[in-house]
Amino acid sequence: MTHKKEQQIKIEGEFKPTVDCLCATRRRFVFIHKGIDRVFKYIGFYAVGVFIAGKSVKTVKKKVEAGIVAIVLLALSFSLSCYHLTMGIMWFVTALIGVAAVILISQLINENRILQYFGRISLIILCIHGPVYRIVVKIVSILLNLGTDAVRENFLLAMVVVVITMAICSTAYEVVVRLAPWMVGKKKVKEN
């Protein structure tokens, strides 16, 4: 073994924690580096949102035609996704087609108290629905003596799970608003 090789082994032995730390840092940098491309992908959605936000939105007057267009757009977006035609710029086009369909559907619905309520509590739903959903699926599967996959794959049971999950999330929201309103960006109302 050469003298240089012996020195390298000695250095690596003495500074192994440092070398490991540097390697781990390099791996994290590679991970961050690979994630940077997502910023440039998703900035297009932000730009479209800024562009649309500047426009005045009017309620759709021809509801039947708008409904048909929304269904066609959803079907087109779904078809493009199912047939894996979302490579290159097409993933962005497919997403925008879906966004346009959702905007049309929201214009058709216009005002709905239940959807507006769930829109207000969407942050809480986003934060807690995952664990709640898993627990509800497990409880339903035990009660019906089915596997959790069977509960998830059955449309009717999946809808029951969604309703129960949303009820639990909305109850959690009401509790949080009363006990710690600052958690959802509200100020505590002083009682007289």
Other CB atoms within 10 Å distance of the CB of residue 169:
21
Supply the pLDDT for residue 119. Answer: 85
Supply the pLDDT for residue 87. Answer: 79
Supply the pLDDT for residue 26. Answer: 47
In the chain, the amino acid numbered 16 is: K
User: What's the half-sphere exposure (Cβ side, CA atoms, 13 Å) at 185?
Assistant: 5
- Secondary structure of 73-139 in HEC code, one letter for each residue: HHHHHHHHHHCCCCCCCHHHHHHHHHHHHHHHHHHHHCCCHHHHHHHHCHHHHHHHHHHHHHHHHHH
Tens-of-pLDDT digits for all 192 residues of the chain? 565 555 555 544 444 444 444 444 444 444 555 567 667 777 877 888 788 777 776 667 777 888 888 899 989 988 888 888 777 778 888 888 888 888 888 888 877 888 888 888 888 888 888 999 999 999 999 999 999 999 999 999 999 999 999 999 999 999 988 888 887 777 776 665
**Both tokens assigned to 169:** 């999330």
Supply the pLDDT for residue 169. Answer: 93
Supply the pLDDT for residue 190. Answer: 64
Q: How far is CA 44 from the centre of its chain?
A: 17
In the chain, the amino acid numbered 177 is: V
Supply the pLDDT for residue 134. Answer: 94
- Cβ-defined contacts of 128-134 (< 8 Å, 24+): 128/169, 128/172, 129/165, 129/169, 132/165, 132/168, 132/169, 132/172, 133/161, 133/165
Give the whole-angstrom CA distance, residue 140 versus residue 145: 8
Supply the pLDDT for residue 99. Answer: 86
**Both tokens assigned to 140:** 């339903």
